[in-house]
């Protein structure tokens, strides 16, 4: 039985859905009366309209998550399509209204156009098209439009996984980050995320003698934590080999061809790569690459005395720590201990392990095949990000997670710069091509046992 081709009307439907979603301000953290609720309701209404059941599940008022399921007929475990509905604040300097969904020069402008209302619109439009075509997939296809990803997932995917695991449990999840075009060395790469770094927020604490600022005790906690800030801030944590990072770099350099091809092996020697990167000019790519070679510990929150004339008994430093795939809470704390020495307490305040989908994996090959079916010159590559996404939540329920929110970007449009940047926009033609890739991938991953036709 053949999966029907994507009807052109479905692409129009996706564009209309995206436009409507962009016009809803889902900034996170929300202002008074804001939140993801109206965007979740919009998705739910679009799904219910064609007879797909959709639920709104809220962890807090106005912060709705939408979960919908297109039931399948086979025994394979479900496939989850996930899009977060919240967006980061628009910021200043836009040439179009960030929530106006203006169209200009073939682009649709708006906060969330690439991150990631585009995928919410594609996923909902795909489910609607499947339902209208009376396609019964061979496995359940679940859509989760979630809140709160940009502030740590607590009211969104974490909440769903903790409270309603049966509604979102899946064998595989498609979501952030990947499926976009990366123009490099004259080639069109399509990164598909297979791993992301973990998080380990740590507090370093120095204790000393409390006293008056006019006659300070010799053992001042603020001075001691100050030394720790300087030590952590100027230290480089040791480089580590990490299989997903090596696979990413190999695929990238192999695809780039030419002299870069010979450089594929450097991913396996992160120390050498770091040395080479230290010679390159500072920039987003260099910083990202460096972050993929070691754990990182960035000093951010400093606490001392609340009063000018009081030497506190305690001073502390909050560290934003990120862990490479393969690293643990213990290995990270040991690296910090090495830097700050004894006499400073180290407390782990928040931990989220790295998320890894080991390769080779049939679903990665399937997604790569779907990309090439629509764009034969595209080179899909496995991808690792230094941040985190909802993937960490879904993987807790056993899902293999892939960054696949397909959009074909023209040369000169820098995905990384538009992501959380000014004038975020999506090329409408590329969005439609992305939908074709998603449809192709759905046909391969959930192709029907039967259709009504
Ligand atoms: Zn995002």
- Dist. CA 150 → ligand 1 center (Å): 7
Closest CA to 229 of 308, 152, 318: 318
- Dist. CA 126 → ligand 1 center (Å): 20
**Count of structural domains within the chain:** 2
pLDDT > 80? residue 336: yes
Same structural domain for residues 62 and 113?
yes
The token pair that represents 248 in the structure block: 């990413």
Same structural domain for residues 13 and 142?
yes
Same structural domain for residues 106 and 173?
yes
pLDDT > 70? residue 285: yes
In a domain, 3, yes or no: no
- Dist. CA 196 → ligand 1 center (Å): 13
- Long-range Cβ pairs for the range 363-368 (8 Å, 24+): 363/172, 363/400, 363/402, 363/445, 364/192, 364/194, 364/402, 366/441, 366/444, 366/445, 367/174, 367/192, 367/402, 367/404, 367/441, 368/190, 368/192
Distance, CA of 437 to CA of 121 (rounded, Å): 14
Same structural domain for residues 258 and 324?
yes
- Dist. CA 153 → ligand 1 center (Å): 11
- Dist. CA 332 → ligand 1 center (Å): 26
Q: Which range among 242-246, 269-273, 359-363 shows the weakest confidence by mean pLDDT?
A: 269-273
- Dist. CA 149 → ligand 1 center (Å): 7
- Dist. CA 314 → ligand 1 center (Å): 37
Choose one of 332, 352, 372: the last residue of a domain.
352
Confidence of residue 260 (pLDDT cuts 50, 70, 90): low
Q: What is the mean pLDDT of the chain?
A: 94
Cα angle 144, 36, 158 (rounded to 5 degrees) comes to 50
pLDDT > 80? residue 33: yes
- Dist. CA 130 → ligand 1 center (Å): 26
Same structural domain for residues 184 and 320?
no
Distance, CA of 440 to CA of 371 (rounded, Å): 8
Same structural domain for residues 366 and 427?
yes
- Dist. CA 389 → ligand 1 center (Å): 7
**Count of residues making up the chain:** 453
- Dist. CA 270 → ligand 1 center (Å): 28
Choose one of 336, 352, 368: the last residue of a domain.
352
Confidence of residue 196 (pLDDT cuts 50, 70, 90): very high
- Dist. CA 424 → ligand 1 center (Å): 12
SS3 call for 153? coil
Closest CA to 118 of 45, 178, 28: 178
In a domain, 30, yes or no: yes
In a domain, 419, yes or no: yes
pLDDT given for residue 261 in this prediction: 66
In a domain, 101, yes or no: yes
- Dist. CA 366 → ligand 1 center (Å): 23
pLDDT given for residue 272 in this prediction: 85
Give the max Cα distance, the chain.
Answer: 88
Per-residue HEC secondary structure of 248-267 comes to: HHHHHHHHHCHHHHHHHHHH
Residues contacting 349, CB < 8 A, separation 6+: 201, 202, 203, 318
Q: Which range among 187-191, 315-319, 413-417, 443-447 shows the weakest confidence by mean pLDDT?
A: 413-417
- Dist. CA 177 → ligand 1 center (Å): 8
Expressed in angstroms, the distance from the first to the final Cα of the chain is: 10
pLDDT > 90? residue 225: yes
Cα angle 87, 403, 153 (rounded to 5 degrees) comes to 40
DSSP type of residue 136: E
Residues contacting 181, CB < 8 A, separation 6+: 188, 189, 190, 378, 407, 408, 409, 410, 415, 430
CB count in 10 Å sphere of residue 30: 19
Same structural domain for residues 280 and 291?
yes
- Long-range Cβ pairs for the range 428-432 (8 Å, 24+): 428/15, 428/103, 428/106, 428/107, 428/108, 429/106, 430/181, 431/14, 431/15, 431/18, 431/108, 431/118, 431/122, 431/407, 432/11, 432/14, 432/15
pLDDT given for residue 448 in this prediction: 78
Distance, CA of 10 to CA of 6 (rounded, Å): 7
Q: Average the pLDDT over 105-133 and give the result.
A: 97
In a domain, 1, yes or no: no
Give the helix ranges, DSSP H, for 138-242.
Answer: 157-163, 165-168, 221-234
- Long-range Cβ pairs for the range 223-229 (8 Å, 24+): 224/315, 224/343, 224/344, 225/302, 225/304, 225/315, 225/316, 225/317, 225/344, 228/204, 228/317, 228/340, 228/344, 229/299, 229/302, 229/317
- Count the alpha carbons within 13 Å of 383 in the hemisphere toward its beta carbon: 24
pLDDT > 90? residue 228: yes
- Dist. CA 90 → ligand 1 center (Å): 13
- Dist. CA 269 → ligand 1 center (Å): 31
Domain with 114 in it: 8-194+355-451
Distance, CA of 400 to CA of 358 (rounded, Å): 9
Confidence of residue 330 (pLDDT cuts 50, 70, 90): very high
- Dist. CA 421 → ligand 1 center (Å): 12
pLDDT given for residue 280 in this prediction: 84
**What proportion of the chain, given as a percentage, has pLDDT over 90?**
84
Same structural domain for residues 413 and 317?
no
pLDDT given for residue 229 in this prediction: 96
Same structural domain for residues 229 and 347?
yes
pLDDT given for residue 406 in this prediction: 98
Distance, CA of 380 to CA of 323 (rounded, Å): 25
In a domain, 242, yes or no: yes
Same structural domain for residues 231 and 299?
yes
Q: Average the pLDDT over 402-426 and give the result.
A: 91
- Dist. CA 28 → ligand 1 center (Å): 11
- Dist. CA 148 → ligand 1 center (Å): 10
Nearest-10 Cα torsion for 10, 16, 17, 23: 170
Same structural domain for residues 149 and 14?
yes
- Dist. CA 176 → ligand 1 center (Å): 7
CATH code of the domain containing 37: 3.40.630.10
pLDDT > 60? residue 18: yes
The pTM of this model reads: 0.92
pLDDT given for residue 50 in this prediction: 98
pLDDT given for residue 19 in this prediction: 98
Q: Which range among 239-253, 317-331, 378-392 shows the weakest confidence by mean pLDDT?
A: 239-253
CATH code of the domain containing 247: 3.30.70.360
Q: Average the pLDDT over 257-283 and give the result.
A: 77
Choose one of 297, 323, 352: the last residue of a domain.
352
Q: Average the pLDDT over 249-264 and give the result.
A: 77
- Dist. CA 234 → ligand 1 center (Å): 30
Nearest-10 Cα torsion for 157, 161, 165, 170: 60
In a domain, 2, yes or no: no
- Dist. CA 379 → ligand 1 center (Å): 23
């Amino acid at each position: 039985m053949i999966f029907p081709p994507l009807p052109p009307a479905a692409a129009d439907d996706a564009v209309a859905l995206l436009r409507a979603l962009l016009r809803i301000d889902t900034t996170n953290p929300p202002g008074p009366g804001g939140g993801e609720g109206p965007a979740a309701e919009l998705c739910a209404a679009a799904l219910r309209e064609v007879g797909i059941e959709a639920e709104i599940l809220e962890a807090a008022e106005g912060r709705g998550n939408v979960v919908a399921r297109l039931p399948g007929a086979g025994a394979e475990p479900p496939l989850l399509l996930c899009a977060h509905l919240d967006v980061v604040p628009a910021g200043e300097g836009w040439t179009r209204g960030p929530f106006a969904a203006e169209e200009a020069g073939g682009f649709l402008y708006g906060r969330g156009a690439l991150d990631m209302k585009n995928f919410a619109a594609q996923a909902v439009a795909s489910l609607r098209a499947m339902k209208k075509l009376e396609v019964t997939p061979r496995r359940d296809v679940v859509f989760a439009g979630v809140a709160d990803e940009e502030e740590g997932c607590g009211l969104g995917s974490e909440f769903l996984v903790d409270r309603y695991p049966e509604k979102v449990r899946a064998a595989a999840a498609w979501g952030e980050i990947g499926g976009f075009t990366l123009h490099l060395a004259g080639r069109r790469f399509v990164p598909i995320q297979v791993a992301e770094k973990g998080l380990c927020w740590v507090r370093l604490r120095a204790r000393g003698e409390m006293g008056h600022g006019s006659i300070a005790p010799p053992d001042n906690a603020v001075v001691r934590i100050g030394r720790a800030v300087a030590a952590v801030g100027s230290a480089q944590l040791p480089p580590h080999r990490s299989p997903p990072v090596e696979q990413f770099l190999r695929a990238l350099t192999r695809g780039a061809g030419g002299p870069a091809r010979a450089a594929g092996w450097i991913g396996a020697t992160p120390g050498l790569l770091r040395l080479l990167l230290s010679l390159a000019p500072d920039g987003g790519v260099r910083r990202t690459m460096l972050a993929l070679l070691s754990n990182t510990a960035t000093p951010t929150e400093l606490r001392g005395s609340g009063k000018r004339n009081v030497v506190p008994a305690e001073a502390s430093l909050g560290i934003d720590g990120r862990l490479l795939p393969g690293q643990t809470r213990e290995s990270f704390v040991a690296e910090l201990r090495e830097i700050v020495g004894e006499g400073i307490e180290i407390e782990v305040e928040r931990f989220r392990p790295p998320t890894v989908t080991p390769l080779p994996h049939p679903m990665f090959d399937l997604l790569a095949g779907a990309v090439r079916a629509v764009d034969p010159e595209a080179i899909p590559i496995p991808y690792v990000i230094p941040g985190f996404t909802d993937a960490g939540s879904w993987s807790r329920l056993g899902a293999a997670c892939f960054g696949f929110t397909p959009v074909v970007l023209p040369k000169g449009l820098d995905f990384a710069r538009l992501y959380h940047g000014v004038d975020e926009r999506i090329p409408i033609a590329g969005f439609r091509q992305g939908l074709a890739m998603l449809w192709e991938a759905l046909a391969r991953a959930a192709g029907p046992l039967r259709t009504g036709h």
